[in-house]
């Protein structure tokens, strides 16, 4: 053990060998199955990227139609008991917790998991992928005392997701921007939640358990919870003029500024944030929100000047979601919904090339203690 260097947070330690994705810092690219994520976001739809993630190739039109049909069928099959749970808990349940509970509960009637049964596994993964947005929307509608907006088979995935959450059919621009954000969030190599999912799957636990663990991991503000925290910060600051003083004050207090920094990029721009900043500008032209945009850009400037830190995806995603009319505490669940595609690919890969995760420790505690008479009753 002694020759293995301890790296807090497993910083820089490879956890798996994968064919799914890679943060290629040298070429400033997020490589997804060999393609550049930014190009995928410009050219493909979220479902196409999800197919690519899961099966390793861009779908032909017939393959995409078949996936769309499966997703539509699955989205119509949310167990009614979940709706009852969400209605009973109402506003007491944060949507992220509703999702964690819901994913776990979906395992009802789906016992007997067999990691070697490729077809059965893929059916389960697609079921989860399809139902996550439905659960988010249903929990949200229940706690805001709105009737559930049933999934619309006539709308593409992203537009249908927005429709289910808001009860409003989005404009083509809003649907396209939301679809792009789903792509940008769909996969990102080995973040905390993906690692959590793979660790759980490595005991050959079922995908429901692995995704339940992933959703718990993603909720934290150092990970997926950052986009929600960014929105709270922007609302607390209120104007571009107040941004610099606010940030200087927080930095002086050694606080973390949400939406900045990243374990892998740290002092480099996150290509996803660069694209999302442009999407925000596009959306502002249709919906207004110049103040919000100016505030974000001012925050970016101050953080670069003060700390050499760049915004991550969550920073610009927050104002985009806000202008799309999405409730702030749905931002993190939406991140998870998008990431379900990448997680599905990781689970499949983990089961196919499994070795139980079982690391060691650097023990810092005492040794050789002996109990004294009377130490125990
Ligand atoms: C993502 C994150 C957890 C990565 O952390 P990490 O790799 O463990 O990096 P560290 O905590 O070791 O930070 C390294 C240095 O940068 C600083 N730093 C990193 N992110 C910072 C932030 N958002 N605000 C202020 N300072 C930050 C740290 O204070 C530390 O400075 P120091 O060396 O002077 O103490 C971190 O950047 C963070 O907390 N960001 C805010 C939350 C967020 O946006 N998360 C979403 C990530 S996609």
233 C-alpha to ligand 1 centroid (Å): 16
Are 246 and 305 in the same domain?
A: yes
> How confident is the model at residue 163, as a pLDDT?
97
The mean pLDDT value for 190-196 works out to 97
Active site residues: 223, 262, 314
pLDDT > 90 in the chain, percent: 90
Residue 276 has pLDDT above 70, yes or no: yes
Q: How many CA atoms lie within 13 A of 101 on its CB side?
A: 16
Are 176 and 113 in the same domain?
A: yes
Give the tens place of pLDDT for each residue, 221-247: 888 999 999 999 999 999 999 999 999
Q: 55 in a domain, yes or no?
A: yes
The rounded mean pLDDT for the chain is: 95
Are 101 and 210 in the same domain?
A: yes
Q: How confident is the model at residue 280 (pLDDT cuts 50, 70, 90)?
A: very high
Nearest partner of 133 among 71, 221, 195, judged by Cα: 71
31 C-alpha to ligand 1 centroid (Å): 24
Q: Specify the ligand 1 atom closest to the Cα of 312.
A: 48
The mean pLDDT value for 57-66 works out to 98
Q: Could you give the 3-state DSSP secondary structure of residue 187?
A: coil
Q: Could you give the 3-state DSSP secondary structure of residue 363?
A: coil
> How confident is the model at residue 195, as a pLDDT?
98
259 C-alpha to ligand 1 centroid (Å): 10
Give the tens place of pLDDT for each residue, 7-31: 999 999 999 999 999 999 999 899 9
Cβ 257 under 6 angstroms from ligand 1: yes
Residue 111 has pLDDT above 80, yes or no: no
Number of independent structural domains in the chain:
2
CATH number of the domain at 264, please. Answer: 1.10.230.10
Give the tens place of pLDDT for each residue, 321-336: 999 999 999 999 999 9
Cβ 304 under 6 angstroms from ligand 1: no
Q: How confident is the model at residue 126 (pLDDT cuts 50, 70, 90)?
A: very high
Are 118 and 138 in the same domain?
A: yes
Cβ 94 under 6 angstroms from ligand 1: no
Q: Where are the alpha helices (DSSP H) in 14-117?
A: 37-43, 46-55, 61-75, 80-89, 95-105
Residue 205 has pLDDT above 70, yes or no: yes
Q: 104 in a domain, yes or no?
A: yes
Residue 377 has pLDDT above 70, yes or no: no
Q: How confident is the model at residue 133 (pLDDT cuts 50, 70, 90)?
A: very high
Q: Whose CA is nearest to atom 16 of ligand 1?
A: 261
Q: How confident is the model at residue 116 (pLDDT cuts 50, 70, 90)?
A: confident
Are 75 and 206 in the same domain?
A: yes
pLDDT > 70 in the chain, percent: 99
Q: 10 in a domain, yes or no?
A: no
Q: Whose CA is nearest to atom 25 of ligand 1?
A: 256
Nearest partner of 158 among 169, 149, 147, judged by Cα: 169
Domain with 215, as residue range(s), is 46-182+189-220+340-352
Residue whose tokens read 């699955």: 74
Residue 1 has pLDDT above 70, yes or no: no
> How confident is the model at residue 374, as a pLDDT?
81
Are 231 and 214 in the same domain?
A: no
How far apart are alpha carbons 126 and 124 in whole angstroms? 6
Q: 362 in a domain, yes or no?
A: no
Residue 4 has pLDDT above 80, yes or no: no
Q: 317 in a domain, yes or no?
A: yes
Cβ 312 under 6 angstroms from ligand 1: yes
Q: 296 in a domain, yes or no?
A: yes
CATH number of the domain at 136, please. Answer: 1.10.580.10
331 C-alpha to ligand 1 centroid (Å): 20
Q: 127 in a domain, yes or no?
A: yes
Are 303 and 173 in the same domain?
A: no
Are 97 and 167 in the same domain?
A: yes
Residue 3 has pLDDT above 80, yes or no: no
Q: For ligand 1, pick from 218, 261, 271 the residue to mutate: most ligand atoms within 8 Å of CB.
A: 261
Cβ 259 under 6 angstroms from ligand 1: yes
Cβ 72 under 6 angstroms from ligand 1: no
Are 211 and 85 in the same domain?
A: yes
Give the tens place of pLDDT for each residue, 141-174: 999 999 999 999 999 999 999 999 999 999 999 9
Nearest partner of 226 among 294, 309, 308, 285, judged by Cα: 309
Query: Is residue 147 packed enough to be buried (19+ CB in 10 Å), middle (13-18) or exposed (0-12)?
Result: exposed
255 C-alpha to ligand 1 centroid (Å): 10
Residue 125 has pLDDT above 90, yes or no: yes
Q: Specify the ligand 1 atom closest to the Cα of 313.
A: 48
Are 149 and 131 in the same domain?
A: yes
Q: Whose CA is nearest to atom 3 of ligand 1?
A: 222
Do residues 52 and 40 make contact, with C-beta atoms less than 8 angstroms apart?
yes
The mean pLDDT value for 349-377 works out to 92
Are 113 and 193 in the same domain?
A: yes
Q: 99 in a domain, yes or no?
A: yes
Cβ 12 under 6 angstroms from ligand 1: no
Are 124 and 235 in the same domain?
A: no
The secondary structure of residue 30, as a DSSP letter, is: E
């Amino acid at each position: 053990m002694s020759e293995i260097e301890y790296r807090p947070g497993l910083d820089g330690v490879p956890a798996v060998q994968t064919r799914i994705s890679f943060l290629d810092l040298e070429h400033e690219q997020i490589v997804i199955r060999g393609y550049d994520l930014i190009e995928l976001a410009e050219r493909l739809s979220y479902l196409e990227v999800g197919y690519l993630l899961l099966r390793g190739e861009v779908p032909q039109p017939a393959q995409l139609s078949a996936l769309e049909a499966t997703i539509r069928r699955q989205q119509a099959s949310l167990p009614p008991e979940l709706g009852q749970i969400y209605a009973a808990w109402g506003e007491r349940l944060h949507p992220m917790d509703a999702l964690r509970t819901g994913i776990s509960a979906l395992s009802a009637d789906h016992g007997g998991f067999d990691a070697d049964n490729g077809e059965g596994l893929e059916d389960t993964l697609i079921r989860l992928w399809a139902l996550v947005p439905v659960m988010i929307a249903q929990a949200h509608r229940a706690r805001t005392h709105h009737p559930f907006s049933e999934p619309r088979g006539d709308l593409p995935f992203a537009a249908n997701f927005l429709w289910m959450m808001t009860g409003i059919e989005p404009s083509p621009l809003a649907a396209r921007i939301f679809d792009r954000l789903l792509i940008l969030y769909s996969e990102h190599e080995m973040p905390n939640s993906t690692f959590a999912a793979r660790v759980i799957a490595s005991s050959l636990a079922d995908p429901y358990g692995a995704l339940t663990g992933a959703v718990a991991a993603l909720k934290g503000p150092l990970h997926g919870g950052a986009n929600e925290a960014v929105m709270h910060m922007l609302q607390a600051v209120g104007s571009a003029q107040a941004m610099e003083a606010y940030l200087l004050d927080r930095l002086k207090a050694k606080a973390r500024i949400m939406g900045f920094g990243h374990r892998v990029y740290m002092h480099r721009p996150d290509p996803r944030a660069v694209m999302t900043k442009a999407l925000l500008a596009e959306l502002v032209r249709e919906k207004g929100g110049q103040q919000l945009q100016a505030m974000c850009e001012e925050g970016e400037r101050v953080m670069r000047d003060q700390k050499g830190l760049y915004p991550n995806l969550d920073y610009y995603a927050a104002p985009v979601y806000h202008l799309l009319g999405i409730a702030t505490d749905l931002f993190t669940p939406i991140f998870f919904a998008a990431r379900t595609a990448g997680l599905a690919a990781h689970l499949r890969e983990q089961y196919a090339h499994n070795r139980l995760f079982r690391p060691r420790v650097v023990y810092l505690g005492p040794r050789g203690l002996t109990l004294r008479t009377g130490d125990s009753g």
